[in-house]
A = this chain, B = another copy of it.
């Protein structure tokens, strides 16, 4: 991206993830919190899933952050609230594709997993890579997760912009708000804005690249289940809360209710994240496995 003219900062894409919602509420009535951080771009604040927020649930009908594929965006007169809302947001801030009105979306999420500030990149965009590399050096709990997406098929809100950061902040129980994480989130979003300003002035491009750990999407794994889909085992206590740490083949991954270890049966080391995210039980994801590399970004 050569320059960043339009930025959307969004919260409440899931209605029970309160950090983004509270940030939206605070900044909506206190523009001085962010307005002068990137004067070279226009900044819009968006409360994404308003109906789900009213009932403090992840979604009202279906997951809004799985509703932005070209296929769903083209659906005629959809019933589900979230598909209607996705089409509305796409019309206002998209449309998804090269003609989009939005250069950058920063979509603030929460996770119950112990992931700190997880900076999720869906594309190898030069600005989001460079800025995120700066920020993992500034914030001790920040990590980069690279989850490559084919933008047309991708169901995520961020993909209606040219580039996006999905900021996953945890551990925070859904429907609650933690002070420490709120303050870290506000700081890092402000830093993204300041770095966008540096980018637009050509300053960030001149800074030396940083060597960073990049956790790249590998595959999701489910809990062991019986034929009726009941879970047969829990996340093993050795990896509960240990997001981003290496799991080698043969190391315990699950624990059955009668106290038996279920080892990781893969053939190579993995670095799990989203370990024990509560809202992923229904998606049949116990954790997302990543591969860790060291890169110059």
A residues near B (Cβ < 8 Å) are 22, 25-26, 30, 112, 173-180, 182-183, 231, 234-237, 240, 255, 257-259, 276, 278, 281
Which of B26, B176, B179, B258 is the one whose CB lies under 8 Å from A237?
B179
Contact B176 A281 (CB under 8 A): yes
Contact B176 A276 (CB under 8 A): yes
Known: A173-B112, A173-B173, A278-B173. A257 touches B182 (CB 8 A): yes
User: Which B residues lie within 8 Å of A175 (CB)?
Assistant: 278, 281
Contact B173 A240 (CB under 8 A): no
Question: Nearest-CB distance from A178 to chain B (Å)?
Answer: 6
Residue from A235, A257, A258, A276 having most chain B Cβ neighbours under 10 A:
A257
Contact B183 A259 (CB under 8 A): yes
Question: Nearest-CB distance from A213 to chain B (Å)?
Answer: 26
Contact B179 A234 (CB under 8 A): yes
User: Which B residues lie within 8 Å of A174 (CB)?
Assistant: 173, 278
Instruction: Give Cα A237–Cα B172 distance, bound, in whole angstroms.
Output: 13
User: Which B residues lie within 8 Å of A183 (CB)?
Assistant: 237, 255, 259
Known: A173-B278, A278-B173. A178 touches B257 (CB 8 A): no
Instruction: Give Cα A193–Cα B243 distance, bound, in whole angstroms.
Output: 37
Further 16 A-B residue pairs, CB within 8 A, beyond A173-B278, A177-B231: A22-B257, A26-B257, A26-B258, A112-B176, A173-B173, A173-B276, A175-B278, A176-B278, A176-B281, A178-B237, A179-B234, A179-B235, A179-B236, A179-B237, A182-B234, A182-B257
Known: A112-B173, A173-B112, A278-B173. A235 touches B178 (CB 8 A): yes
User: Which B residues lie within 8 Å of A173 (CB)?
Assistant: 112, 173-174, 276, 278
User: Which B residues lie within 8 Å of A235 (CB)?
Assistant: 178-179
Contact A178 B278 (CB under 8 A): no
Instruction: Give Cα A182–Cα B259 distance, bound, in whole angstroms.
Output: 10
A254's nearest neighbour on chain B, judged by CB, is B179
A276's nearest neighbour on chain B, judged by CB, is B176
Question: Nearest-CB distance from A180 to chain B (Å)?
Answer: 4
A176's nearest neighbour on chain B, judged by CB, is B278
Instruction: Give Cα A276–Cα B30 distance, bound, in whole angstroms.
Output: 27
